[in-house]
Chain A
Amino acid sequence: MRALGKYVAAALVTGVLGVGAMPAATMAGEIGPKVPIDKSKGSCVLPGKEMRRVHMDILKHRRDLTMYQGIRGGKQALEACLTCHMVKDEKTGKPVTVASPKHFCRVCHDFAAVQPDCWTCHKSVPEAAVREAMIGPDGKMKASMMAQLRAFVQREHGGRK
Chain B
Amino acid sequence: MMDQGARDKTASGQEVSREDELNEARRAFMRNIAAASVISLGGGLTLFTVGGSQAQAKKPEEPLDPKKRWGMLIDTTKCSDGCQKCVDACKQENGWEAEPHSPHDVQWIRKVNVKDPATGFMMSLPVMCQHCANPPCVDVCPTGASMQRADGIVRVNMHICIGCRYCMMACPYKARSFVHEDIPEEKKRFHAPMGKGCVTSCDFCAHRVDAGKIPACAEACPEGAMLFGDLNDPNSALSKRLKGIPSYQIREDLGTDTGIRYTRLP
**Interface of B toward A, CB cutoff 8 Å:** 1-4, 6-11, 17-19, 21-22, 24-26, 28-29, 31-32, 58, 60-64, 147, 149-151, 157-159, 182-183, 185, 188-190, 193-198, 206-207, 209-211
B211: A residues at CB distance < 8 A: 72-73
> B10 and A91: CB pair below 8 A?
yes
Binds B, one of A23-31, A44-52, A92-100: A92-100
Q: Complex: how many Å from CA A79 to CA B192?
A: 12
Q: Which 4 A-B pairs have the closest CB atoms?
A: A93-B2, A121-B195, A121-B193, A120-B195
Interface size band for A: 35 or more
Q: Does A32 contact B (CB under 8 A)?
A: no
Docked complex Cα distance between A43 and B105 (Å): 42
Give the Cβ gap from B235 to chain A, nearest Cβ, in Å. 22
7 A-B pairs (CB sep. < 8 Å): A94-B2, A125-B185, A126-B190, A132-B1, A134-B29, A135-B32, A152-B22
Interface positions of A from 114 to 133, Cβ below 8 Å from B? 119-127, 130-133
Contact pick for A123, options B1, B60, B149, B190, CB 8 Å? B190
A142-159 near B? 1/0 per residue, CB < 8 Å: 011100110110000000
Report whether B63 and A69 are in contact in the complex, using a CB–CB cutoff of 8 Å: yes
Interface centre among A69, A121, A143 (most CB of B within 10 A): A121
Give the chain A neighbours of B8 by CB distance below 8 A.
144
Q: Contacts A67-B147, A121-B194: A144 and B206 contacting too (C-beta < 8 A)?
A: no
CA distance A68 to B206 in the complex (A): 11
Residue contact A123 to B64, C-beta cutoff 8 Å: no
Known pairs A133-B2, A148-B25, A149-B22. 7 more at Cβ < 8 A?
A68-B147, A70-B206, A97-B185, A121-B198, A124-B185, A130-B28, A144-B7
Closest to B160 in A: A67
Q: Is B149 a contact of A130 with CB atoms below 8 Å?
A: no
A-B contact number at CB 8 A = 122
The CA-CA distance from A92 to B13 in the complex, in Å, is 11
Pairwise interchain contact A91-B9, C-beta atoms closer than 8 A: yes
Cβ contact of B60, chosen from A73, A98, A135, cutoff 8 A: A73
A70:B4 contact, CB within 8 angstroms: no
Which of A124, A127, A132, A144 sits near B189, CB closer than 8 Å? A127
In chain A, what residue has the closest Cβ to B211?
A: A72
| Cβ distance B77 to chain A, nearest Cβ, rounded Å | 33
Q: Contact between A121 and B2 (Cβ–Cβ < 8 Å)?
A: no
Contacts of B9 in A (CB 8 A): 91-92
Query: A70, B149: Cβ atoms under 8 Å?
Result: yes
Q: Is the CB of B22 within 8 A of A79?
A: no
Q: For the complex, what is the distance from the CA of A78 to the CA of B4, rounded to whole Å?
A: 30
